[in-house]
Structure 1
Amino acid sequence: MMGQEFAAETVYVVDDDALIRIALTRLLEAEAYRVECYADAESFLKFHSAGAPGCVILDVEMPGMNGCDVHQALLEGDMKRQVIFLTGHGTIPLSVSAIKSGAVDFLTKPVAADQLLDTVQVALERDRLSRKDTKFRSSFQMRLEKLTTRECQVLLHVMEGKMNKQIAADLGVTLKTIKVHRGRAMHKMQANSVADLVRDWTLFSAG
C-alpha cells in the first residue's frame, strides 16, 4: 500500500482501449494509487500535470502518436517522467530500444497484476530519487552562485586538502583573509565540514 507521504503521486494510464484503462484503474486504485487516464497520447501530453510526481503506463500502439513518440517527446522536453510501456505487440528490438531510452520496463499484455504493481513501485521509487537529485542540484547551484570569485578559489584549494597557510601563500593574501573567506564560503555552502563539502561537490559534479 502507498504511504501517506506519497499521496500526491499519480499513475497516469495512457491507452486507447477503454477496457484496459478500466482494468488498470481498478487494480491501481485498490492499492491506493491516484490514477489519471487518457485515451490518446495527445491528450496526455497536453493535459497531464508535467511537474507532478508519479509515473506513466504507456500503450505502444495507439492512433496518432504512439507510445514511443510520447516517450521521445517527454525526453526532448527534458521531463524526467518514468515510463512503463505496455503493449500487445511487443518485439525484442522494440523492448531493448525502450529500455535503452530510459523506460522502466516493457511489459506485454496481458500482464500479471503482481508484475505490473511491482513495476509501478520501481517506477515511483525512481521518480522519487530523480526528484530528490534535481532538488539537490538546484539547491547546490544556488549556493554556488552566492560565492564570490575569491571564496570559490579558496574552497577549491580547501577541497584539495590544503591548509590555510598554504592557500594564503598560493593566492598571495594574508592568513587572516583566507580564514575569513573560508568561513564565509563554508557558511554559504551550508557545509559543516570539509568532508560534507567534498561529498556534495562530488555528487553535484557527477551529473
Structure 2
Amino acid sequence: MEITPVPVVYIIDDDEPVRDGLSRLLRSIGLHTEIFATPDEFLAFQRPNRPSCLVLDVRLPGKSGLVLQQEFAQLGLRMPIVFMTGYGNIEMSVKAMKAGATDFLAKPFHDQDMLDAVTAALARDSKRLAAEQSLAPLRDAYTRLSERERQVLGHILSGLLNKQIACKMNLSEVTIKIHRRKIMSKMGARSVAELVLMATSIGIGPIR
C-alpha cells in the first residue's frame, strides 16, 4: 500500500478545550489532526497509512494512558506516542518512555515543546513506514512459500543440515534439497547467509 505523504496527529483527551486548543496549535504549522474524546472513538476511526503520531492524555476516564499504550501495542498500533499529563511523575514518565513513548509533557506545557515533540514523533514514524515499505517485496516473497517450504526454512534458520531436516520432517534428503532450492529462488537469496538475513528482517525465526 502506498504511503500517503501528509502526516496526521491523533489527539485523545476527554477535555474538549484541551483537544480543540491542541488541534489549533498543530494545524497552525500545517499538520492534519483528528481529535477524540475516548480511546474507543480513536480505535473505531479508519486510519490511513501515513506518517502519524498519537498525543495521549495519561489520565482518561476508565483507563490510564499507560494501560492504553500497552493495549495499543498488543493491537499492532506502532505509531509514536507523546504523553501529556497534569499529574505526571518521574516514575510514570520513565515507564512510558521504556514502553516506547517519544515524549512526556507535563501540563501546562509550552507550545513549542509540544510542536517539537510532535515533529520528532512524526519524523520517527516516517522512518518506520519507509523501512516497512522497503521490506514489502520480501514479505510478499515469503507469502509465496508453501507451508512445507516455510517449515524447511524454519529448520534452516535453526542451523540444521539437509539430512537433519529430512530426519525431522520424515522426508528424503533429496526432497529437502529441492525445497531448499525453491526457497532460495522465491526469496531471491544467493546464499544461506543472505536467506537468514532476509528472514530475520521480516521477523521470521527458527522453529523452536
**Alignment pair present for 1:44 and 2:41:** yes
The 1:12/1:159 distance shift into structure 2, 3 A limit, reads same
Runs of 5+ consecutive residues of structure 1 not aligned to the other structure = none
Matched residue, 2:5: 6
Give the total of aligned pairs: 195
Q: 1: CA distance between counterparts of 2:100 and 2:185?
A: 38
Matched residue, 1:78: 76
SS at match of 1:146: coil
Structure 1 residue 64: Cα displacement: 3.9
Structure 1 residue 12: Cα displacement: 0.6
Percent of pairs with identical residues: 28
Q: 2: CA distance between counterparts of 1:17 and 1:46?
A: 18
Q: Given the two structures, how large is their TM-score scaled by the length of structure 1?
A: 0.68
Structure 1 residue 95: Cα displacement: 1.0
Which residue among 30, 33, 46 is the counterpart of 1:32? 30
**Alignment pair present for 1:98 and 2:96:** yes
Q: 1: CA distance between counterparts of 2:185 and 2:137?
A: 17
Q: 2: CA distance between counterparts of 1:152 and 1:62?
A: 45
Q: For 1:63-74, what aligned pairs fall within 5 Å after superposition?
A: 63-74=61-72
Structure 1 residue 43: Cα displacement: 4.6
The 1:138/1:130 distance shift into structure 2, 3 A limit, reads farther
Which residue among 109, 117, 120 is the counterpart of 2:118? 120
Q: Given the two structures, how large is their TM-score scaled by the length of structure 2?
A: 0.67
Q: Is the 8 A contact 2:19 2:35 kept in 1?
A: yes
Which residue among 33, 44, 56 is the counterpart of 1:58? 56
Structure 1 residue 82: Cα displacement: 2.2
Q: Is the 8 A contact 2:144 2:186 kept in 1?
A: no
Structure with higher Rg: it is 1
SS at match of 2:112: helix
Structure 1 residue 34: Cα displacement: 1.2
Q: 2: CA distance between counterparts of 1:151 and 1:76?
A: 25
The 1:125/1:192 distance shift into structure 2, 3 A limit, reads farther
